[in-house]
Amino acid sequence: MNKKLKKILIPLLCIVLVVVIISIAGPYLVLSGARQPEIEDGYAYSEYFYNSYDEIRAHLKQRVEKLKNDGITVNVSEYAVDKNDSLYIDNIYLPSAKEKENLIVLTTGVHGMEGYIGSVMLDVFFEEIYPDIDTEKTGILVVANVNPYGMKYMRRYNENNVDLNRNFILDWSSFDLTSNKDYPEVKEFLQPEGKIGNALWHEAGFYLNLAKEAITKGADKVSDALLTGRAYSTTVLTVNTKTLCI
């Protein structure tokens, strides 16, 4: 290597090395130096946050027992989504003591993985808010773990690949069902038939197909189809009103 080239290459390599080190170490140093926020009133995450659907369900049963021990009337029922996989939606109803004037309805886990924080919120509700509610006139209905499959397997969607939080349309005739012009072209990708099967393989397949669709049909077409709206048909994308009206 001639001297001139060396003179240019060595400083250049040094600069590249410094940039690489800063880009890797910089964020780490900034984050490790950042102060963790104080958690008030002893709300330790470990005490309230559970890491599995089964733990959350067991904790919910403890909550029911605690309420009963406090002399509160609690009616419990469960809806089996999949008995073989022990997937249940839990209904907990605390009727008002005298007049049925108000009913507070709480749901958790409509988007499966959000049920983990939903469980924490239920604890906060029963410990912080419930004691101040006029239970003579106000009933409480908790529909917990609405999407137990999504909770167990850390997914937003349920076992039929339905996004339950996109299922609140009661009158489809009020929508222009053909407004999403790009949807038919990517329908097979966005609206696969059948059950999910193995969640991990399903996710991997989704990203592979997404790349394929973006390359063959164009990223714009895919994003337009996704974002223009989802009222192409009653079973479009993650929506299925028939599933809603159980």
Nearer to Zn ion, 111 or 152 (CB): 111
Return the residue of 57, 63, 111, 155 that touches Zn ion, per CB under 5 A.
111
Instruction: Work out whether 57 is an interface residue with Zn ion (CB under 5 A).
Output: no
Closest approach of Zn ion to the CB of residue 111, in Å: 3
Q: How many CA atoms lie within 13 A of 211 on its CB side?
A: 5
- Bridge-based pairing state of the strands 87-94 and 102-107: unpaired
Nearer to Zn ion, 88 or 157 (CB): 157
Instruction: Work out whether 63 is an interface residue with Zn ion (CB under 5 A).
Output: no
- Bridge-based pairing state of the strands 102-107 and 138-144: parallel
Q: Where are the alpha helices (DSSP H) in the chain?
A: 3-33, 45-48, 53-69, 115-124, 148-152, 183-190, 199-217, 219-227, 241-244
Rounded-to-integer distance, Cα 55 and Cα 78, Å: 16
Stretch that binds Zn ion, among 47-55, 112-120, 146-154, 221-229 (CB under 5 A): 112-120
Stretch that binds Zn ion, among 28-36, 61-69, 77-85, 105-113 (CB under 5 A): 105-113
Nearer to Zn ion, 114 or 159 (CB): 114
For the record, the structure tokens of 219 come out as: 């990223």
77: phi then psi, degrees, rounded to nearest 5: -145, 160
Rounded-to-integer distance, Cα 153 and Cα 159, Å: 10
Stretch that binds Zn ion, among 70-78, 111-119, 198-206, 232-240 (CB under 5 A): 111-119
Nearer to Zn ion, 67 or 152 (CB): 152
Instruction: Work out whether 152 is an interface residue with Zn ion (CB under 5 A).
Output: no
* Residue least distant from Zn ion (Cβ): 111
Which positions touch Zn ion (CB under 5 A)?
Answer: 111, 114
